[in-house]
Amino acid sequence: MYVAWTTLATRADAEKLAAEVVARGLAVCAQVDGPVTSYYLWQGRPERAEEYRLSLKCLPANIAALETHVLSHHPYEVPEWLVVRAEQVGEKYLSWANTGPTNLPL
């Protein structure tokens, strides 16, 4: 399983992208955090922005399609895109993810 992150300027943009990738089966789960405060250099100038972090859980077979979708639908000129392979995933969670989840157990 992979975990991927990106940030967006508004909660609405983050929630829209989250809903899209889950509905298309590209991610098994998406979470929106924030706002978070980001500090970075843009075109040589220091910047500070309030953003919303989108965390995505994805099976290996879908990571390339997830990246393509996120980057092609992202409003930023240079979107953050970070992906890590999870070293350990709970057996029940991974089983749920592999069976094509339709809803989270409560």
Question: Which phi and psi angles does 86 have, rounded to 5°?
Answer: -70, 125
Question: CB under 8 Å to 106, separation ≥6 — which residues?
Answer: none
DSSP structure class, residue 9: S
Residue 105 pLDDT > 50: no
What whole-number percentage of the chain has pLDDT above 90?
Answer: 92
Query: pLDDT per residue over 4-25, tens digit each?
Result: 999 999 999 999 999 999 999 9
Q: Which residues pair with 88 in a beta bridge?
A: none
User: What DSSP line would sit under 28-57, residue for residue?
Assistant: SEEEEEEEEEEEEEETTEEEEEEEEEEEEE
Query: pLDDT per residue over 61-71, tens digit each?
Result: 999 999 999 99
Q: What is the mean pLDDT of the chain?
A: 93
CA 28 to chain centre: 10
Q: What is the architecture of the domain spanning 2-88?
A: 2-Layer Sandwich (3.30)
Residue 83 pLDDT > 50: yes
Mean pLDDT of the region 73-84: 97
Would you kindly state where each structural domain of the chain is located, as residue ranges?
2-88
pTM: 0.88
